[in-house]
Chain A
């Protein structure tokens, strides 16, 4: 079946450090891939997405590239800020496009000043 695996957290970084959160997936065909962010006490917000192989999603300085050959969609940011502290979820929507999202377990990022 379809699944998403994220690196375990928490990830603790100093401000302006480089961020990578790994995400790999298992799916048939060509799923769409997403990164969502959940700030404390809030619901999930879409951060970025990619719908086909080699697409790069980007938003607010975050980037992720859809790598079919490695079945990965790693999230990166060159210089994190304290305000980036949140839980980040990688997710996929199957190629069958039923609308359902399958989430990874989430990675907590804490950025210290």
Chain B
């Protein structure tokens, strides 16, 4: 069965609004969660690393004020895209890991900003 869930699977929002994406670890308490962004027909780009109870570490070039990450518990992390614009339209994927073991990926969330 699924190890990681994401909600919603698809979302369409208007430009200027904010959207929250949830990532849940179903099988274990994840020490670390990662957020990726995938453009059409391109690879995954790591956006940030999220550890429970501490601030997320953002990759170079990723705006932390635009992409707010809250790692509320060992099983839940949220990514909020604030003041979304059409260029934020993308496929957002989270992954979870326990320590430095294998990463388990969520099914992804398709965001479309109109």
Interface of B is mostly: strand
Cβ A97 vs Cβ B100 within 8 A:
yes
What does the 1/0 interface line of B37-55 toward A look like (CB < 8 Å)?
0000111101001000000
Cβ B49 vs Cβ A105 within 8 A:
no
What does the 1/0 interface line of A69-113 toward B look like (CB < 8 Å)?
000000000000000000001000100011111111110100000
- Those of A9-57 within 8 Å (CB) of chain B: 36, 41-46, 49
* Smallest CB separation, A55 vs chain B (Å): 15
Query: Considering only CB atoms and an 8 Å cut-off, how many residues of chain B contact the other chain?
Result: 22
Cβ B105 vs Cβ A43 within 8 A:
yes
> Please, how many angstroms separate the alpha-carbon atoms of A43 and B4 in the complex?
10
- Those of B67-114 within 8 Å (CB) of chain A: 93, 95, 97, 99-100, 102-108
Query: Closest B-chain residue to A44, C-beta based?
Result: B105
Query: Considering only CB atoms and an 8 Å cut-off, how many residues of chain A contact the other chain?
Result: 21
> Please, how many angstroms separate the alpha-carbon atoms of A108 and B40 in the complex?
12
> Please, how many angstroms separate the alpha-carbon atoms of A68 and B69 in the complex?
37
Cβ B32 vs Cβ A106 within 8 A:
no
**Interface centre among A41, A44, A45, by most B CB within 10 Å?**
A44
Cβ B106 vs Cβ A43 within 8 A:
yes
* Smallest CB separation, A69 vs chain B (Å): 26
Contacting residues, chain B, for A98 (C-beta < 8 A):
49, 100
Cβ A99 vs Cβ B32 within 8 A:
yes
Q: A42-B107, A45-B105, A100-B49 are in contact. List 19 more A-B contacts (CB 8 A).
A: A36-B105, A41-B107, A43-B106, A43-B107, A43-B108, A44-B93, A44-B95, A46-B102, A46-B103, A46-B104, A99-B99, A100-B34, A101-B44, A104-B43, A105-B42, A105-B43, A106-B41, A106-B42, A108-B41
In the complex, 21 of the A-B residue pairs with CB atoms within 8 angstroms, ordered by the A residue number, are: A36-B105, A44-B44, A44-B93, A44-B95, A46-B102, A46-B103, A46-B104, A89-B44, A93-B100, A98-B100, A99-B49, A99-B99, A101-B34, A101-B44, A101-B46, A103-B43, A103-B44, A104-B43, A105-B43, A106-B41, A108-B41
